[in-house]
């Protein structure tokens, strides 16, 4: 039996332009989706809404260890906020933020002392009022195993990623002296 000549098959040419066009469409769609999901922050809304949000935060905090156990007068909640996103909701605006609040009191020696505190993601629903914005309602992230799902439900996809990755405002101790009319550099210690 003889040797049959080997048949070499050449691969069929795949037209590249349909593949490249398809990849281009997928990349463009992904970029559009990411940009559409990017949380934005309306600085004007934030500037006008934060005073009422801060007041609401301080007025609705619990009675902490300083107020309950220290015997110190003039115990206050001092809060800082990191706004993650602002989203229009009809005539209203949802302001998604992370708040960090510390219970602070003035000591007899002139310094400040901190007691209870919390760091909490929340979404405020606000509406324009005569002077700035007024708070209509607040949604707070749940504790424990419900924390991550509640944050994902409250914020946009990217906003929730920022919160879950630990985005936080500055430490309230940095603004506590100003809240008491004291100069920067006033000592702030933790109450024992």
Q: Is residue 68 part of a domain?
A: yes
Residue 12 belongs to a domain: no
Structure tokens at 44: 């004007």
Q: What pLDDT is recorded for position 72?
A: 84
* Residues ≥6 apart with Cβ < 8 Å to 75: 64, 66, 67, 103, 104, 105, 115
User: Is residue 49 in a domain?
Assistant: yes
120 in a structural domain: yes
Q: What is the pLDDT of residue 41?
A: 86
139, part of any domain = yes
Q: Does residue 58 fall inside a structural domain?
A: yes
pLDDT of residue 159: 93
- Domains of the chain: total: 1
Model confidence pLDDT, tens digit, residues 71-122: 888 899 999 999 999 998 888 999 999 999 999 999 888 889 999 999 999 9
> Cβ distance 51 to 134 under 8 Å?
no
Tally helices (H) and strands (E) across the chain.
6, 5
Tell me the C-alpha distance between 34 and 118, whole Å. 32
Indicate whether 2 belongs to any domain.
Answer: no
Measured CA to CA in angstroms, residue 5 lies from 2, 9, 12 at distances of: 9, 13, 21
Residue 117: which H helix or E strand, with range?
Answer: strand 112-128
The CB-side HSE value for 183 (13 A sphere, CA atoms) comes to 2
Among residues 162, 159, 164, 161, which one has the least CA distance to residue 147? Answer: 164
* Residue range of the domain that includes 61: 39-190
Could you tell me if residue 110 is inside a domain? yes
Which residues of the chain fall below pLDDT 70? 1-15, 17-39
């Amino acid at each position: 039996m003889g040797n049959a000549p080997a048949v070499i098959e050449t691969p069929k040419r795949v037209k590249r332009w349909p593949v490249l066009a398809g990849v281009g469409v997928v990349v463009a769609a992904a970029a559009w989706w990411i940009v559409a999901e990017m949380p934005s922050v309306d600085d004007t809304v934030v500037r006008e809404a934060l005073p009422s949000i801060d007041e609401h935060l301080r007025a609705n905090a619990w009675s902490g260890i300083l107020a309950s156990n220290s015997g110190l007068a003039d115990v206050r909640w001092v809060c800082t906020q990191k706004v993650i996103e602002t989203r229009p909701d009809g005539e209203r605006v949802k302001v998604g933020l992370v708040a960090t609040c510390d219970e602070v009191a003035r000591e007899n020696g002139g310094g400040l002392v901190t007691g209870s505190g919390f760091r909490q993601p929340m979404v405020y629903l606000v509406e324009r009022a005569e002077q700035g914005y007024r708070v209509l309602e607040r949604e707070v992230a749940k504790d424990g195993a419900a924390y991550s799902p509640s944050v994902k439900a409250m914020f946009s996809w990217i906003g929730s990623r920022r919160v879950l990755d630990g985005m936080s405002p500055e430490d309230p101790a940095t603004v506590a002296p100003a809240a008491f009319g004291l100069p920067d550099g006033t000592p702030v210690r933790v109450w024992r």
